[in-house]
């Protein structure tokens, strides 16, 4: 595989090795012919086999970063994004699966629409399509694709958001400098929204406070 990818696919994980390996398998199966790099930021509390999988499969372009301690997914994404290469950065969760031709459709759409700063990736969750996430009638993306250069220009996700709201804040930053944020048509991924102990006890308590911060910061765009 060419050492220079077109897309870097980024996600964090904490103690969810099986869902992580399932996601990797779907990426390997359905991303070619688009050249890609997988970036994993692992905040797991114990050995889980993901690093060993990367070592045992050197032909799969995996960049693996082990956090000493999980610091929230916003911090994890910013750490991982430092290793991004190519034209586009795609951020997902570790409880997602990608589907046939997903990357080809995303890259074609972004290439043909250079005014778009974030292409939102719709997802199927609990057999219901979540085509878009609205905050007071403004479209923002939960999972998305952005030019690497634009991500770097805007310094990625704002780390005052621990676990919720950072992706929406990033979309508003993109809108603020004149780019568009739109859902990518004719593509979707699966999202299983796994609610495990880490999610419930560590991430979820930040939800309400983070969204209050988001609403206060961007109230000019939410009126």
Q: Give pLDDT, residue 197.
A: 63
Q: Which residue has the higher pLDDT, 15 or 35?
A: 35
User: Given CA atoms 38, 183, 74, 173 in this order, what sign does their dihedral have?
Assistant: positive
**Does the pTM of the predicted model rise above 0.85?**
yes
pLDDT of 130 higher than 70: no
For residues 168 and 131, which has the higher predicted lDDT (pLDDT)? 168
Task: Return the domain boundaries, the chain.
Answer: 7-222
Counting every residue written for the chain, the total comes to: 223
Higher pLDDT, 210 or 170: 170
Residues 113 and 203: their CA atoms lie apart, in Å, by 34
Q: Are 27 and 38 in contact (CB under 8 A)?
A: yes
Shortest CA distance to 36 belongs to which of 63, 64, 75, 13?
A: 63
Beta bridge partner(s), residue 138: 135
Instruction: From residue 91, give the alpha-carbon distance in Å to each of 41, 59, 134, 201, 208.
Output: 12, 22, 18, 23, 22
How far apart are alpha carbons 168 and 139 in whole angstroms? Answer: 9
The fold of 7-222 is Spore Coat Polysaccharide Biosynthesis Protein SpsA; Chain A (3.90.550)
How far is CA 199 from each of CA 5, 146, 195, rounded to the nearest angstrom?
31, 26, 6
């Amino acid at each position: 595989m060419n050492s220079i990818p077109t897309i870097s696919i980024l996600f964090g994980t904490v103690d969810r090795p099986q869902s992580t390996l399932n996601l990797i398998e779907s990426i390997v199966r359905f991303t070619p012919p688009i050249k890609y790099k997988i970036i994993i930021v692992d905040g797991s509390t114990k050995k889980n086999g993901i690093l060993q999988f990367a070592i045992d499969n050197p032909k799969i372009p995996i960049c693996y970063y082990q956090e000493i301690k999980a610091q929230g997914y916003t911090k994890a994404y910013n750490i991982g994004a430092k290793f991004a290469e190519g034209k586009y950065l795609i951020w997902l969760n570790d409880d997602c699966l990608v589907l046939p031709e997903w990357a080809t459709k995303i890259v074609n759409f972004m290439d043909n629409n250079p005014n778009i700063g974030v292409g939102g990736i719709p997802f199927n969750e609990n057999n219901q399509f979540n085509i878009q996430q609205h905050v007071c009638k403004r479209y923002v993306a939960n999972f998305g694709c952005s030019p690497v250069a634009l991500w770097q220009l805007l310094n990625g996700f704002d780390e005052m958001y621990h676990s919720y709201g950072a992706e929406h804040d990033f979309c508003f930053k993109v809108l603020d400098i004149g780019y568009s944020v739109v859902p990518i048509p004719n593509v979707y991924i699966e999202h299983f929204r796994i609610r495990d102990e880490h999610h419930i006890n560590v991430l979820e308590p930040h939800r309400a406070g983070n969204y209050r911060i988001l609403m206060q910061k961007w109230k000019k765009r939410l009126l």
